[in-house]
Structure 1
Amino acid sequence: VLPEHLHAIWTLPPGDHAIGIRWGLIKSGFSRALPKTEHRRISRISRGERGIWQRRFWEHQIRDDADMTAHIDYIHYNPVKHGWAKRVADWPHSTFHRYVEKGWYGIDWRSTPPQEPTHIRE
């Protein structure tokens, strides 16, 4: 989770393709929890939208283990890429810390940017 965007990797139940519904529930729950202090355009008010979220989201179906690893690495490095942290370990709002606890990464993992996986859009 970053101040201006987030990334997530999900595994949906077999036959379930309702990713849009899930994102909608996350966005609406988050929005309802925030104080209503932002200025909203009439178009957003008429749609019942807050000015917090963009209307779209991008999805990518993970193809194989290498693709999964590339996307996890990309997500973990994202706070450094966007200037929110100097090191991956410095960003507190990341699953990176769980990966370190499990021994999957060292605390000083990735001093250089990983190769960006294909199909990433922010």
Structure 2
Amino acid sequence: MQKLAALESGKYYHIYTRGNNTETLFKHLDNYHLFLQLYRKYLMPYADTFAYCLLPNHVHFLIRIKDEDALMRQGGEDFMKRISVERQLAHLLNSYTKTINHRYERVGKLFQHRFGRKEVTSEAYFTRLIYYIHFNPQHHGLIDDFSDWPHSSYHSLLSKSKTALQREEVLEWFGSRDWYKKFHEENAADFASINPLIEDDEL
């Protein structure tokens, strides 16, 4: 198995994974809620989340690893221990798999691999990646209009209700709610500028 680069504090990443042999990850509506609950438990204390999308057999997130101080916790009487974000991601997948296996009387691994990751290294990549993540359900033919998909951050970023997402930072990045929405609508299905960066994410 190819060794994945370590996730570094302060850096932005596109992280993604899929079901083993494209197996369905979310069989019922409450499975989506369960995955997000576990995500909040295992990852959100250590990473800021800008966008996400859960699809039946794969998931995408855009995150920023928090600074080193946020990754430290008391490891004993006299020392501090650094949290491994990679291990937290593994805990997320393992916990979800155990619950699904128990609930549906299945055995074996549910995910094809650990979370893949790509560092987001440019402003253009960040902007178009948010769009790509939200557009994914339409891109894969699951729905005619990506904005109707209920399991992404698209509407949460437009809403004014409480959220754990980095909403204000995203909206400021696009300039306003209106420009965020307009960018998504005007760039529908235009992956040309980002394809070289996502080609091995495709299913």
**TM-score category (smaller protein):** 0.7 to 0.9
What amino acid sits opposite 2:191 in the alignment?
Answer: Q
Alignment of 1:33-72 (within 5 A): 33-34=99-100, 35-38=103-106, 40=107, 50-72=108-130
Q: What is the Cα deviation at residue 81 of structure 1?
A: 0.9
| Alignment-derived partner of residue 98 in structure 1 | 156
Per-residue CA distance 1:27-67 (angstroms, 9 max, x = gap)? 012112222522x4xxxxxxxxx331012432111112211
Distance 2:137 2:154 in 1: 11
Match of 1:13 among 66, 72, 75: 66
Task: Judging by fraction of residues, say which structure has more helix.
Answer: 2
- Would you say the 8 A contact 1:73–1:114 is kept in 2? no
For residues 115 and 4 of structure 1, what CA distance do their matches in structure 2 show?
21
Deviation at 1:100, TM superposition (A): 2.7
Residue equivalent to 2:92: 26
Distance in 1, matches of 2:187 and 2:124, equals 20
Q: Once the 2 structures are TM-superposed, how far is the Cα of residue 68 of structure 1 from its aligned partner?
A: 0.5
**Cα RMSD over matched residues?**
2.4
Q: 1:115 aligns with which of 191, 194, 202?
A: 191
* Residue correspondences, number: 111
In 2, Cα distance between the equivalents of 1:55 and 1:11? 21
* Distance apart, 1:84 and its partner CA: 1.4
**Sequence identity, in percent?**
23
Unaligned runs of 5+ in 1: 41-49
Question: Deviations 1:14-38 (Å, cap 9, x if unpaired)?
Answer: 3569443232011012112222522
2:96 aligned partner, one-letter code: F
Cα distance, 1:70 vs. partner? 1.2
Amino acid at match of 1:112: A
- In structure 2, list runs of 5 or more residues that go unmatched: 1-53, 72-82, 161-176
Query: In the superposition, relative to structure 1, how do residues 11 and 71 fare at CA in structure 2: closer, same or farther (>3 Å)?
Result: same
Query: Partners in 1 of 2:197 and 2:116 — Cα distance?
Result: 9
TM superposition shift of 1:82: 1.0
C-alpha separation in 1, matches of 2:147 and 2:113: 31
Task: Compute the TM-score of the two structures, normalised by the length of structure 2.
Answer: 0.48
- In the TM superposition, residue 8 of structure 1 has moved relative to its aligned partner by 0.7
- In structure 2, the residue matched to 1:46 is none
Contact 2:97 2:109 in 1 (8 A): no
Q: Which amino acid in 2 is paired with 1:119?
A: L
Comparing both structures, which one devotes a greater share of its residues to strand?
Answer: 2
